[in-house]
Structure 1
Amino acid sequence: MRSLLFLSAAALSLTACATTTTTQTTVYIPVAPVVTPSSLTPQPVILFNKTKNGRKLFTLNEEFPYCDPGTGKVIVVPRWYVTDFASVPWFGQSVIDPQGPTARAAIIHDYLYAIGEKGKREEADDIFYRAMISFGVDEWQARTAYTAVRTGGEKGYGLKDDWSFIDPTRPDGVQPAPFPKPKTGAVRIMSRCAGFKDLIQTGWRAYPIAQPVVNVPPPVTVTEKTGPADWVQDKLPWPKKKKDEKK
């Protein structure tokens, strides 16, 4: 009993002593999204319930960058661009494998044909040929496909209906073009493609994807005053009353 009275008296006497003020501020820092480099060898995504003139349709779920070593032109096919490899005439279709490297070159060719830059069809065909070689297509296959587009590809150049896009996660929904059809397929020039791969590794995007706005709460500051009385109170047998607790 005497010890309790002693502690109570000590608590009252120490209340008048100096107190310590502790201030702690919590700041919320949003986590930046991880930026992964674009794939230089993307795999086309088939749209199972979509066809065009009996042809299967394919799209891309990421933008597809390519640099042509002959011209130094950086061509970036936007994500969701729809292709059916129709820029290659029927007698060259036998060498176009949708699951192989020829398909990647054909996507670039389809894209350049869809844009239909005036006076650049031959250049588009040459880029197609060099792309096939760059992706490891056999010479005879590349030559067959190239001959096909040179002799029979003119009718498919610059067609309005070829500028179409479909989100592969919503193949039945209407997907507007992300931007108006450009006048040229090149987004920049890099002499002999020097530094192109390094550029892609930085996460560079020709057509950046809009990131959702993150609402960051304001900083929270908590101030607490402590003193000797708090130490004594912790030793008492009865619980410490909260500041907002009614007496």
Structure 2
Amino acid sequence: MRCMETPEETTDPAEQHPGIAARTWAEASADPQYRAAVVDLLGALAYGELAAFERLAEDAKLAPTVEDKAELAKMASAEFHHFERLRDRLSAVDAEPTAAMEPFAAALDGFHRQTAPSDWLEGLVKAYVGDSIASDFYREVAARLDSDTRELVLQVLDDTGHASFAVEKVRAAIEADPRVGGRLALWARRLMGEALSQAQRVVAERDALSTMLVGGLGEGFDLAEVGRMFSRITEAHTKRMGALGLSA
């Protein structure tokens, strides 16, 4: 899914969250609540990757050239590979992949229905902006994971090449017709609101995941840090908007 640029990381997760981040999966998973949180996280990510694959394949129909279609097809293939890795990891930790994904299907499908692009450019902005917000959120959560799970999560959030592709195409469209910029800026603001709301809903509905996010698994609750986390996500969004040539 998560194919975009991300904020620079300046802190080692093991230093920021020493309780869990310094442990391996074998050590950390002895806590049943932590194990449940990780299964939730991997389930949400896996379904997100599967949905991203489907969406990119659908968006390819809007592509104006054969070259653009091929580029989106390549990205869709990368997303499906990420899905396979997450699915296999769920099986490896004795979790049934479909059961792990199902709790998140309605929320993620709802988000994609509410933010269906009306044209090629809106699809590119959604992939660049919307998916990046999700990536930033999951990277924040990754700082609270054991070393083995964190490595996998960060790998599946790697850039699939969509960032530079989207920036190039959107900036060229705005240069050709500056009026496009205003429409796309409004669209990106809507995506920001919907993506943050969706992330908050997903976490709020899963007790183990929400407890991990606010630091409740052996680290103490830190709601102030959660607020700072969403501030960092918002700042990263503003930078991406600038890269597209849009106002936040």
Structure-1-length-normalised TM-score: 0.22
Tell me which protein shows more helix as a share of its residues: 2
Task: Provide TM-score, normalisation by structure 2.
Answer: 0.22
Higher strand share: 1
Structure exhibiting the larger radius of gyration computed from Cα positions: 1
